[in-house]
Structure 1
Amino acid sequence: MTQKIGELLEAAAGRALPVVRGIDDGQLGDRTPCAEYDVRALLNHLFQVVVNFQALAAREEVDFSRAPEFVTGDWRSRFGEETARLVAAWDAPGAEEGTAGQMGMPARTVGLMVLGDLTVHAWDLARATGAEFVPDPGVVEEVAPGLAALAPQGREMKVFGEPFPVGEGATAFERVLAVTGRDPGWRPAGS
C-alpha cells in the first residue's frame, strides 16, 4: 500500500531536523552542493518551501517569488515547528486528493515534490556542514520515480541540473541525487 504523504513527511522531517538543528551560525556562509546557495540561503529556501507547501496542501495560492529571511531569532526551533505544520497539513483529510497549486498538478505529486525537497536539501545541508544524514528508505522509494519524472521539467525551470553520471553500484538515494544534478560524492573544498 502506498504511504500517505503526511507519514512520509514525518519520516523525512525526523531525518532533516537533527541536520538543521546542528548547524552552527559560523557555518551559514559555507558553500553547499547547490552552487547558487550558501548554507543561509539554502536554509531560507527550505523554510520557504516548507511554509509554502503547507498552504498548497490547503489549496491556497503561494508566492515563490518572495524570498523572506527565515534565519533569524530561534530559527532552529521554528524549523521544527514549521515542519510539524507541514506534516499536519499533508495529513489532513483530502490533502492528497484533486489538484494543488497554480500549475494544477495532482495533489499527491505536489506532496511528493516537497518530500523530495525536504530530503534532498537535508542532504545538501548535511554535506555542507559535515553532519550525518541517512534518508528514510521508504521516503527514497516514494520520491525516486516522481523526481525522475519531474526532472525534465525541473531542468527547463532551472531547478535541477543535468543528470550526474553514477555507476551501476550507486544506491537508490545516490540515483535520486544524480537525477537532480547533484554529485553524490560532493564534499566542501578542503574536507
Structure 2
Amino acid sequence: MKTISELLEKAAARAVPVVRGIPDGRLADGTPCSEYDVRALLNHLFLVIDNFRILAAKGTPDFSGTEDVVTGDWRGRFDDETAQLVKAWAEPGAEEGEAGGMSMPARTVGLMVLGDLTVHAWDLARATGQDFVPDPAVVTGLEPGLAAMAPQAREMKVFGEPFPLAPGATAFERVLAVTGRDPGWRPAGR
C-alpha cells in the first residue's frame, strides 16, 4: 500500500499542470461544482491544501477562510503549496493516530485531501477545456476510501447524490460519480 505522501505527490504532478494552464480569462467560468466558479474553486483548493497540511502535523485547521488568494503568482504558489502538502504528509507519524481536530484516522483524512486534489483538478480541467488523466495509483487508492466516506460526506453536504453510471464505467468515472459528479460534464456553450 502506498503512503499518502506518495499518492499526493502523484496527484500533485497531475494537478499542477492543470492549474498552470488556467488562463486568467477563464476565472469566472462555471465548474462541475455548481457553487464555485473557477476562481472560487481555486480559492477553496488553496484553503484545503493549507488546512490539510496543518492536519498532517496534528494541528487544528481553520476552514473559515474566504480570502481571495488567486492574485499575484498564484500558479507558482500552487506549486509550492502542493509541495508543502506532500512534505507534511511524508513526515514520520503523519499517517498515524488521529489527524488534528477532525477526530478521524489520519490516513482517512489524508485520503480526503487526496480526493480533493484529484477531483478538483478534474473539475478545473473540465471547466477550462484541459485534459486531465489522474495517476492510476491515485485512483486505486481513492476509490474504496471515497466510497466508504460517501454516506457521511453526503450528510455533511460535501458530496452530492451519486451520479448514475452505465456498466463498464472506468474506476475514475466511479470516483467522480460517488462524489456526485457527472463524468461527462462539459461547460455550457463550449
Q: Which amino acid aligns with 1:153?
A: Q
Q: Which amino acid in the other structure matches residue 54 of structure 1?
A: R
C-alpha deviation, 1:103, in angstroms: 2.8
Match of 2:59 in 1: 60
Structure 2 residue aligned with 1:176:
175
Q: Please name the residue that 1:76 is paired with.
A: 75
What TM-score do you get using the length of structure 2 for normalisation?
0.98
Letter in 1 for 2:54: A
Matched, 1:25 2:24: yes
Pairwise CA RMSD = 0.7
Tell me how far 1:66 sits from its aligned partner: 2.0
Q: Distance in 2 between matches of 1:105 and 1:174?
A: 26
Tell me if the contact between 1:48 and 1:68 (Cα under 8 Å) persists in the aligned partners: no
- State the identity as a percent: 74
The letter for the 2-side match of 1:92 is E
1:165/1:178 contact within 8 Å kept = yes
The runs of at least 4 aligned residues of structure 1 exceeding 6 Å deviation read: none
Unaligned stretches of 5+ residues in structure 1: none
- Structure 2 distance, partners of 1:61, 1:102, is 5
- Cα drift, residue 63 of structure 1: 1.1
Residue segments in structure 2 that go unaligned for 5+ positions in a row = none
If the length of structure 1 is used for normalisation, what is the TM-score? Answer: 0.98
Q: Structure 2 CA distance, aligned partners of 1:37 and 1:119? A: 16
Which residue in 1 is equivalent to 2:142? 143
| Per-residue deviation, residues 120-152 of structure 1 (Å, max 9, x unmatched) | 000000000001100000000001111111111
User: Residues 87-116 of structure 1, C-alpha deviation per residue, up to 9 Å, x if partnerless?
Assistant: 000011111000013231000000010000
Q: Does 1:36 align with 2:40?
A: no
Aligned length: 190
Separation in structure 2 between the aligned mates of residue 121 and residue 184 of structure 1, nearest angstrom: 13
